[in-house]
Structure 1
Amino acid sequence: MSSRYAELSREQLAILVPELLLCGHLIDRSGMAHTISAFGRDGMAEVAIEEWQLASPIYTRRMRAALRIPGDDIVTIFKGLQLDIGAPPQFMDFRFRVDDDRHGEFWLDHCGALADVEPMGEPYVFAMCHTIEDPTFDATALATNPHAQVRPIHRPPRMPADRVPVCAWTVTIDEANEPPATPPNTPLIAASAAARLELAPVDPADTGQADYAGALLSDLRFADFSKSALVRMADEVCLQQHLLTLGFLIAVRERGGEETALDIGRKQFTGIAGLTSQRIRAALGLGDDFAALAQVLRLHPAWNPLPYTAAEITAFHDSVVLRLSRESPGVADGAWPALIDAEHTEALDAMVRGVNPHFYTRVHADGDELVAEIASAGEPFPEASEVAITRFSTGADFSFGERQSLPLTVV
């Protein structure tokens, strides 16, 4: 199966890839609100730590392999961060300094996550910037070098309240550093189809930058990459979202059981599904008719990469039909495609109403396929509460700007 993102132009892909990174970051704005309700602030922090520890080493290694990012040094760690849904460009405005191949610093001139959490009070800021970040930064660095450690120079709660940069961290690689313990549930996610999925390699002959093997850049200009590289990036970012969700479901299931995991997982999916549709539609300047809906669905991370979901989307003049194989790898993993059935259509309803609030779905089984028929009603439907919760994030209306891409050298 080919990638659906190959249907887009190079220019459209350069717009879409950072959008997918940002939407991946906002998954937690959807999921963690419901996790707090179920397990409290401390339980939410435990879930957040485990999901990122499980997912980020796997997807970081995948992206490194896809874009031929070599090495095990500081530069390699920083390149991985630039292509991680945990650090979408500009919204999480990471700046980097490289002292040598084993020492460096990064800081955030703007942190969208902090902007979302600061109004909730210092206990939530401490939970995010201390309790969660300490183990998860090390887990991300672990994907490149098990002896890398990320340690704070300063971090929130901010003193003074408008301190910029909002935080700063050192990264040190030292053989004396003891690698962090492997989370007990690592084998579960490492054995997933998402972790092992093979995708088409980047074509080195395509026009534009085919890899990220050269110098570390201050900011990635996605327009500089080839169409082939951008297609692979888009598919990998979608897999990051599926892997993070699998980690989230594992962590919630461990604390609340299967029924709780399905309930919170569906709420998480609903919130991010609707917001992602809205951002994709706006980013690509699409309309609100059935042709636009089909395009948004084809590009939505819930249904990509195509070899993972095997979702078929067909547009008609008065409807769109989505056919989902119940034997696809995504369903087998228990990822987002597995969370929709005839009795649970909330996420799909939110997704289609992100294009037009009049759209609704009718879902039924057809052999080993789930078929969703999307039509239009006379009156608009209200926005789902799960989408409204996710819209609390400043990322919901965030706009990307133009940046220069400057090589960073050893200071």
Structure 2
Amino acid sequence: MSRSGFDHLPRAALAALLPELLLCGQLIDRSGLPHAIAAFGREGMTAIAIEEWQIASPVYTRRMQRALGFVGDDVATIFKGLQLDIGAPPQFMDFRFRVEDRDHGEFWLDHCGALMDVEPMGDDFVVAMCHTIEDPTFDATALATNAHAQIRPIHRPPRRPADRHPMCAWTVTIDPANIAPPVPPNAELVASSAAAGIELGVIDTDDPGRADYSGPLLSDLRFADFSKSALVRIADEVCLQHHLLTLGFMIAVRARLGPDAAAGADPAARAGAGPKAAAMTMGRKHFTGIAGISSERIRAALGLGDDPAALAEVLRLHPAWNPLPYTGVEITETSDTVLLRIPHRSDATADGAWPAMIDADHLAPLDAMARGVNPRFVTQAIATDEHGWTVEMALAPQPFREATEVTLTRYSTGASFTFTDRGIPLPLTVL
């Protein structure tokens, strides 16, 4: 059986952690898109957001369906997938569902954290997110379940009146007459990645608790109802969603950084380093912002301290280093340091995912990750050999200033969002 970085956690801790992992996945965009705006403007940022979700979400949606045994081609299957999608973290993106029959349904958002983030920026940004981005990416997610599914708005922002609730509402229709949109040009780059095909641990059906998501669609997913084995697999799949979305982001960025684009806002490009280096610089900024916020939220969710033992635990659970069969990292601790061992060769480095973005001269994402636990942590590369390299994390006498990339990500209301217990979920039956 494949090993997992989540195996050591008790069931209750896993149930508390999973909403955090889903939310941190949604915040990946909040980390990356400010840098895309700076380099390409609002229209370029919008195009990147569309492409990254279009080419990543069908891959991870189908993976989750297979993992939890709810493969199907109806509206309820589409809705189940949304409940386990980093694009729709529970409560922060508060999706509510109605199923009319197997081919018709509606959903609406009682709360949309993403809208809360962009409304202060004005209607142009709201339209970019709720119209230009949502139309093709909602359909891409639905198409992972049924090629003839279409998602269309009933109403959506800009909100008129300004406090309109629900914030948006949509129909989902499956009809053989619906013509599927063309496959995005770079979709195969994600579909053929190591992340897309990696095999993870099999769920133990004898483990106490729910082993799958067969049966009726539920109004909410209460993760505490799942078995520990299922929670471990879900956590690994959610972390893989992070990597797949990041691969999509980087593919979209590189596609827009041709020879003539290298004179944009990116410092490496302006210095003549070329489009490849410019894309890597943007990727590292993207990684730095989400690395810090994710550490901070994981630490708070599990009530951890701020010492090396707490940092080691956060690293073991951090999406950047999971699932372990993908990244191959090793984490050890002493009384006053934490060592992170990163192999030169892994599926993650072959794909160009987060572990491939750092080296001895580019440790900013690791500094941000460590300082999400304690602002006094500092990292340094201490050893390398033919198999991998090792980073040491230790406490310095004085705290460090928060990285600009983390501060930019923190503008999202998701950075400080608090989950609540909603009690026992209800099955949603056909009307």
* TM-score higher than 0.5: yes
Distance in 1 between residues matched to 2:174 and 2:108, nearest whole Å: 18
- The reply to whether residue 308 of structure 1 matches residue 326 of structure 2 is yes
CA drift at 1:367? 2.4
1:229 maps to a residue whose letter is: A
* 3-state SS of paired residue (2:256): helix
Matching residue of 1:183: 184
- The reply to whether residue 16 of structure 1 matches residue 14 of structure 2 is no
Picking from 317, 321, 336, the partner of 1:318 is: 336
Matching residue of 2:426: 406
Pairing of 1:6-405 with structure 2 (within 5 A): 6-256=7-257, 257-364=275-382, 365-403=384-422, 404-405=424-425
TM-score (norm 1): 0.99
2:129 maps to a residue whose letter is: M
Distance in 2 between residues matched to 1:261 and 1:194, nearest whole Å: 20
* 3-state SS of paired residue (2:90): coil
Distance in 2 between residues matched to 1:293 and 1:366, nearest whole Å: 25
CA drift at 1:200? 1.2
CA drift at 1:70? 2.8
1:73-121 superposed Cα distances (whole Å, 9 cap, x missing partner): 0000000000000000000000000000000000000000000000000
1:258-313 superposed Cα distances (whole Å, 9 cap, x missing partner): 22211111001000000000000000000000100000000000000000000000
2:276 maps to a residue whose letter is: E
1:408 maps to a residue whose letter is: L
Alignment gaps of 5+ in structure 2: 258-274
CA drift at 1:375? 1.0
Distance in 2 between residues matched to 1:287 and 1:68, nearest whole Å: 37
2:400 maps to a residue whose letter is: F
Distance in 2 between residues matched to 1:62 and 1:314, nearest whole Å: 31
1:214 maps to a residue whose letter is: G
1:17 maps to a residue whose letter is: L
Identical positions, percent: 69
* 3-state SS of paired residue (1:172): strand
1:14-46 superposed Cα distances (whole Å, 9 cap, x missing partner): 000110000000000000000000000000000
Distance in 2 between residues matched to 1:304 and 1:239, nearest whole Å: 7
Distance in 1 between residues matched to 2:304 and 2:119, nearest whole Å: 34
1:160-188 superposed Cα distances (whole Å, 9 cap, x missing partner): 00000000000000000001110111111
CA drift at 1:366? 2.6
Distance in 1 between residues matched to 2:105 and 2:217, nearest whole Å: 12
Give the ranges of 4+ consecutive aligned residues of structure 1 lying more than 3 Å apart after TM superposition. Answer: none
Q: Aligned-residue CA RMSD in angstroms?
A: 0.7
Contact 1:202 1:232 in 2 (8 A): yes
TM-score (norm 2): 0.95
Distance in 2 between residues matched to 1:154 and 1:264, nearest whole Å: 35
Distance in 1 between residues matched to 2:219 and 2:390, nearest whole Å: 45
Contact 1:252 1:260 in 2 (8 A): no
CA drift at 1:368? 2.8
CA drift at 1:60? 0.2
Distance in 2 between residues matched to 1:368 and 1:252, nearest whole Å: 30
* 3-state SS of paired residue (1:214): coil
Distance in 1 between residues matched to 2:156 and 2:276, nearest whole Å: 36
| Corresponding pairs, count | 411
Distance in 1 between residues matched to 2:77 and 2:113, nearest whole Å: 24
2:364 maps to a residue whose letter is: E
CA drift at 1:363? 1.4
Is the deviation greater in 147-156 or in 181-190?
181-190
1:119-160 superposed Cα distances (whole Å, 9 cap, x missing partner): 000000000000000000000001000000000000000000
Distance in 1 between residues matched to 2:243 and 2:144, nearest whole Å: 18
CA drift at 1:376? 1.1
Distance in 2 between residues matched to 1:67 and 1:20, nearest whole Å: 17
Alignment gaps of 5+ in structure 1: none
Distance in 2 between residues matched to 1:69 and 1:18, nearest whole Å: 20
Distance in 1 between residues matched to 2:405 and 2:243, nearest whole Å: 19
